[in-house]
Amino acid sequence: MGTISEEILGRASGKPANAGDFVVAGVDYAMSHDGTSVLAVKAFREMGVDKVWDPGRIIIPFDHLAPANNENTAQLQKEIRQWAAAQKITHLYEVGEGICHQLMAEYGFALPGKVVIGADSHSCTYGAFGAFATGVGATDMAEIYASGRLWFRVPETIKVTVDGELPPGVAPKDVILHVIRAIRTDGATYKAVEFYGETIREMSMAGRMTLCNMAIEMGGKAGIVPPDARTFDYINGRAAEDYRPAYASKDATYCDVIDFNVAGLSPQVACPPDVDNVRDAGEVENVAIDQVLIGSCTNGRMEDLAAAASILKNRKVKCRTLVIPASRAVMLEAVETGVAATLLNAGATICNPGCGPCLGGHMGVLAEGEACLSTTNRNFRGRMGKGAAVYLGSPLTAAATALNGRITDPRRYV
């Protein structure tokens, strides 16, 4: 017994797995989206393998450039569909169904104790459910397609404990930005990060997904929240199969232990060009913003849209404001609850579920010299448009900013 990562990888490899060991582990579920499936399928064919190891354990969502933004993209997506049909892959999710990481949760593939691998760096999101989840490249994904197994170096683990009741106007996004500010973008390189503490226990599954989604932004191999009653409530009726949770032993060895108290935390903003360039929102108020983006795999869930709507209700935005729900289910709930109407009445534009401008794909790419306050996870130079600036914040901060066309501390509206 050891850390959660050691426990899960030990089970999956059939032998003890300690930090630093190399193991070959069985993969429970493998995900590649429209952007990475093309390269993974190419590598798979070059291996000379005829059939995937298990078509029921491969998940392919169309989300990164969906709907197709040009003829070349459309052709590549057509080829993925044809390959998936030939391989009898049952879990292909078409345009508009949602972002890959949200669908993995909604359809019960992100489960406690499982090894869940995605050909996307933010696959660490599934650690919110107590899985060992990480992103790999297309060639590694092709190996999983072929054999259902992959080699791993068992990561060391940082134990992060977060205590304190979140103040009004402060959200899980602010918590993870605060943590990244302390650990830095390279402070957890190839390490797992386990999240504990009162704040985490009280956090919704949506909030935990936000935390684990951004573990990669501090270099993490995985971000993991130990599964509890809140976890089991969410996956009850969703789980794609039986599961067995994994927990760290009392004598688990951590390479670092870091404690945070967020009782006095202010809303946070990550300023370009680095995710760890984090400031209190009040320090950067009045920075002019051309576009606000609310959504993505980080903050496109129902509680995020509802939080934004609570500020935008009966008010009007002063800059371009895009809302991109994380899935069709989220969009439907937003419609049924009136949240979508509130956002539309405020002047926001609601786009189909997908990644869109987050990666500079489409549906809101920025012009040179423009700035965006976004609820996404990265603000590197060129991320959403050449010569554009991206600031990261919570849905509350995004909504407050939209009302003024300038970065705004949301607490004045809460």
Which has the closest alpha carbon to 273: 174, 389, 398, 178?
389
Start-to-end Cα distance in the chain = 45
- State yes or no: pLDDT of 3 exceeds 90: yes
CA separation for the pair 62, 32 (Å, rounded): 9
Its CATH architecture, for the domain 269-412, is: 2-Layer Sandwich (3.30)
- State yes or no: pLDDT of 372 exceeds 90: yes
Name the pLDDT band for 359 (thresholds 50, 70, 90): confident
Give per-residue burial for 191-210: e unless 16+ CB within 10 Å, then b. Answer: bbbbbbbebbbebebbbbbb
CB 134 within 8 A of CB 167: no
Domains 4-237+253-259 and 269-412 share a fold: yes
pLDDT value at position 1? 73
CB 389 within 8 A of CB 284: no
* Amino acid identity at 218: M
- State yes or no: pLDDT of 292 exceeds 80: yes
Tell the residue number behind the tokens 């650990």, with chain if given: 183
CATH of segment(s) 4-237+253-259: 3.30.499.10
CB 119 within 8 A of CB 36: yes
Q: Check whether the bond before 410 is cis (ω within 30° of 0).
A: no
Q: For strands 291-295 and 371-374, give the pairing.
A: parallel
Name the pLDDT band for 332 (thresholds 50, 70, 90): very high
Question: What value does the mean pLDDT take over residues 268-281?
Answer: 97
- State yes or no: pLDDT of 381 exceeds 90: no
Q: For strands 156-163 and 191-196, give the pairing.
A: parallel
- State yes or no: pLDDT of 294 exceeds 80: yes
Tell the residue number behind the tokens 């934004």, with chain if given: 308
Name the pLDDT band for 358 (thresholds 50, 70, 90): confident
Q: Tell me the pLDDT tens digit for each residue of 101-151.
A: 999 999 999 999 999 999 999 999 999 999 999 999 999 999 999 999 999
CA separation for the pair 118, 11 (Å, rounded): 19
Reduce the secondary structure of 123-188 to three states and give it as a string: HHHHHHHCCEEEECCHHHHHHHHHHCEEEEECCEEEEEEEECCCCCCCCHHHHHHHHHHHHCCCCC
Which has the closest alpha carbon to 142: 240, 33, 47?
47
Average pLDDT, the chain: 96
CA separation for the pair 173, 196 (Å, rounded): 16
In the chain, what are the domain boundaries?
Answer: 4-237+253-259, 269-412
DSSP-assigned states of every residue in 244-279? ------TT---SEEEEEE-TTPPPEEEPTT-TT-EE
Tell me the pTM: 0.96
Which has the closest alpha carbon to 151: 17, 285, 51, 286?
17
Question: What value does the mean pLDDT take over residues 81-88?
Answer: 97
Residue 278 β-bridge partners: 270
Q: Check whether the bond before 55 is cis (ω within 30° of 0).
A: no
Q: Which ranges in 274-410 belong to alpha helices (H)?
A: 296-299, 302-312, 328-337, 339-345, 395-404
